[in-house]
Structures are given as C-alpha cells and as structure tokens.
C-alpha cells in the first residue's frame, strides 16, 4: 500500500496565532437590497421560505429579491423596512427622492399618493423624476402636511 501522507508543514517553535475574519455567507457591507435582505435573514437564522411566507410571495420571488433579479412591489416595502430596521436606500435629498421614500415607507402606489395629495398621477410622476416642481400653494401645503416640503 502506498504512503498516503503528502507534505507536512513544519513551523518554527514558539507561539503562533493565526487571525482571520470568520467566513460569512453574506456581504458584511451590503450595497444592494438583495444583499441587505440576505444579511438580515442570515442574522435572524431564517430560511428564504420563512420570509416568502411572511410576505405572501410566489415560490421564487423572495429568492429573486435576494439575487437582485427583481425589485419588490411598493406594497412590500413597509414590511421590508420593518424587517431590516431601516430603509436601505440612500437618504433622500430632492423632492422627488422624498416622495419616493414616502411611498416606500407607506407602501403607496403613485396613484394612491397622488389621490392623497389631490393631484393627478402624471403630475406626481413629474415631481418624482424632477421634471416639474409643485407650483400652486395648495400643492405645497399638501406636501408640507406630509412633511415633504
């Protein structure tokens, strides 16, 4: 029978201390929504099916969120923010970004927020993408009530 042992590493005498970070199955500094979701799920010791059930999703939808293959519908964002404990998107600076962040926090469609503000959906879209600014005092007051102006 052949000798099974290969090479043996010999280290000089003395105390040796090898240090390295413990490997993890997720990004330590998540950048995408999928990375944020996976990190939090792993921290909580949950399976994808647990969160799929929590969000009432089809079989592959949650997995696709984690892989950044698709984005959640606006109605799922309040639960995502609650799960993570924060909104993973950058802090909003412009009016359009603030409107979008408000819709995410509250799970509102553009149509629902437009109704709430008393404007049509196309006007709200123009505000969100930065093509227009609210001009009438009525619109500015509506935005102030939501703490967006």
Global pTM reads 0.78
Please compute, for residue 87, the number of CA atoms within 13 A of its CA located in the half-sphere on the CB side.
Answer: 18
The pLDDT assigned to 1 comes to 52
Average pLDDT, the chain: 89
Q: Where does residue 69 rank: exposed (0-12), middle (13-18), buried (19+ CB within 10 A)?
A: exposed
- pLDDT single digits (tens) 20-29: 666 667 677 9
Q: What is the pLDDT of residue 63?
A: 96
Measured distance between the N- and C-terminal CA atoms of the chain, rounded to whole angstroms: 82
In whole angstroms, give the CA distance from residue 102 to residue 144. Answer: 13
Residues 6+ apart with CB under 8 A from 141: none
Burial (CB < 10 A; 0-12, 13-18, 19+), residue 52, is middle
Please say if the pLDDT value at position 2 is more than 60.
no
In the predicted model, what is the mean pLDDT of residues 35-48? 95
- Whole-angstrom distance, CA of residue 9 vs CA of residue 50: 45
């Amino acid at each position: 029978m052949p000798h099974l042992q290969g090479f043996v590493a010999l280290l000089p005498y003395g105390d040796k201390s090898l240090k390295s970070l413990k490997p993890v199955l997720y990004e330590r500094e998540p950048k995408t929504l999928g990375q944020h979701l996976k990190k939090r799920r792993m921290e909580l010791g949950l399976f994808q099916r647990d969160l799929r059930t929590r969000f009432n999703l089809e079989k592959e939808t949650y997995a696709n969120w984690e892989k950044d293959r698709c984005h959640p519908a606006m109605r799922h964002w309040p639960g995502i923010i609650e799960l993570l404990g924060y909104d993973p998107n950058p802090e909003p600076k412009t009016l359009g970004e603030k409107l979008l962040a408000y819709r995410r926090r509250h799970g509102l469609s553009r149509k629902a927020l437009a109704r709430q503000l008393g404007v049509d959906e196309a006007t709200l879209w123009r505000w969100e993408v930065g093509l227009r600014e609210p001009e009438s005092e009525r619109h500015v007051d509506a935005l102030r009530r939501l703490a967006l102006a």
